[in-house]
Structure formats: C-alpha cells, structure tokens
C-alpha cells in the first residue's frame, strides 16, 4: 500500500495560507507517499485548484450523513466531492467531544462519504482518563465496531488512531504503546471486514512533528500520519512527508 501523510488544518487558515500550499507543492512534486491536506471548507475549492495536476490531494474535515436538505451550515459529502475533495475526515475526537457525535453518526457519515466517491478517514482514540483506567483497547474496539461501515473496503477506508490526550499537547504515547494499538486495530478490522483489513492504511495522529516522525513511521502497522499543527507550514509538513517516504 502507498503510505499517507494527511494534514488536518482544523479551524485555521484564510486565503493567505495558500502560499504554504504552493510552497509544499513546489518542494514535493513527486513524494514517495500520498500527500493530503484537509483545510477548512472555505478553502477546499481554492486549494483543489492549486493542487490540480500536482501530487497533493485535498480533503474535507467533516460531512453530513445526508446528501442534501434542510441542514443549515452543514456540508454533504457530495458537495465536498464537487468542490474538489478526494477524502474526508469523520469522527475526529474534537467532533465527538464538541458536537457529541456518536459512533452511529460517524458510521453514517463514512457511508455517505464512500457513496459520494470519497475516501473516509475514520478517527478513533481514547481520552487520558480512559487510558489511565486501562480501557484503551476496549474504547477503541467499540469505536471501530460502531464507526467502520460493514463491508468497508481498503480503497475507500483509512483509520486514524489519535489518542485524545496527545492531540496538541506535545505528548505522545511510547512507540510500544502505538504498536500495541495499531496491531489491535488491524486485528479488529480483520474481524469486522475480513481480508480487506490488510490493505487499510492505519495512521497515527497526536503531536506528530518533524522531530519524531521517522521513529513513529518505523513502528509496525503505522502506514502514515494524521498531522495537526505541523501541517500548517510547508517546511514542517514537508519534512514529515519526506520522513514517510524513506
């Protein structure tokens, strides 16, 4: 499988930030891995235009499970596809926490994404309290069972493991802890979707930066990263892309 470096800009970025995208494209015309940025919805069309005929893919940060309708402020997967997106993040911990998203809702969004022709990046991860209570694998297993669509295939599914306590904190799990969780995810996916699980890319996310990327990418079953703050700057994200390609 081709590894994936994905960047989540979250609620950051205006048109001025597109200069960083131009710099990234120029510096990495043919990366060894797949390269993806998920900007705010206001920038998807602009970024997709810049990325045309380049190695950069563009994605959304969320989608509504319905294709259209009276849902003010929401964006459907079909609309993301129409704007030039190829991927969409669903079930990010910030959506689960800030908006009360359930596993069932995340699965519905993933189904909508795949139906629209997008790759769904399904996020899972435990809180600090859940880890301290020894419930990490139980929590992630439940999220996988509830969030990953039955019959999912590797071509349209990515799973991102983001321990909630490591996002934006500068803290990361040990390499052994990352390896344990990723091996568990692979096994749980196999139980859920069979042989397709072998081809699903498993990303690690949570304070990934140029200084720790190479050692994280050397961990078995880590097929890339979902990067937050470090994806906002071409130099930082480019270094992570380069580390994944080695």
Q: Which residues are catalytic?
A: 92, 162
Picking from 243, 208, 213, 212, the residue whose alpha carbon sits closest to that of residue 229 is 208
Tokens of 106: 């995340």
75 near 63, Cβ under 8 Å?
yes
A 10 A CB-CB count for 180 gives: 16
A 10 A CB-CB count for 174 gives: 8
Q: How far apart are CA 181 and CA 213, in angstroms?
A: 17
Asked whether the CA dihedral 120, 147, 175, 232 is positive or negative, the reply is: positive
Strands 34-38 and 56-60: parallel
């Amino acid at each position: 499988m081709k590894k994936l470096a994905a960047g989540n800009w979250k609620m950051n970025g205006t048109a001025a930030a597109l200069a960083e995208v131009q710099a990234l494209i120029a510096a990495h015309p043919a990366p060894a891995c797949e390269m993806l940025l998920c900007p705010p919805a206001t920038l998807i069309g602009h970024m997709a235009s810049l990325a045309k005929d380049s190695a950069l893919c563009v994605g959304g940060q969320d989608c509504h499970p319905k294709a259209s309708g009276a849902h003010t402020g929401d964006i459907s997967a079909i609309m993301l596809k129409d704007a030039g997106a190829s991927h969409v993040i669903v079930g990010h911990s910030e959506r689960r926490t800030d908006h009360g998203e359930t596993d069932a809702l995340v699965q519905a969004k993933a189904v909508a994404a795949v139906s629209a022709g997008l790759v769904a990046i399904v996020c899972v991860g435990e809180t600090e309290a859940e880890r301290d209570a020894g419930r990490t694998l139980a929590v992630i297993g439940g999220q996988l069972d509830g969030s990953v669509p039955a019959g999912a295939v590797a071509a349209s599914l990515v799973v991102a493991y983001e321990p909630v306590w490591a996002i934006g904190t500068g803290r990361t799990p040990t390499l052994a802890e990352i390896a344990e969780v990723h091996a568990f995810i692979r096994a749980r996916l196999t139980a859920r979707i069979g042989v397709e699980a072998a081809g699903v890319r498993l990303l690690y996310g949570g304070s990934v930066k140029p200084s720790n990327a190479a050692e994280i990418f050397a961990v078995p079953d880590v097929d890339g990263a979902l990067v937050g703050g470090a994806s906002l700057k071409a130099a930082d994200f480019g270094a992570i892309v380069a580390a994944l390609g080695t």
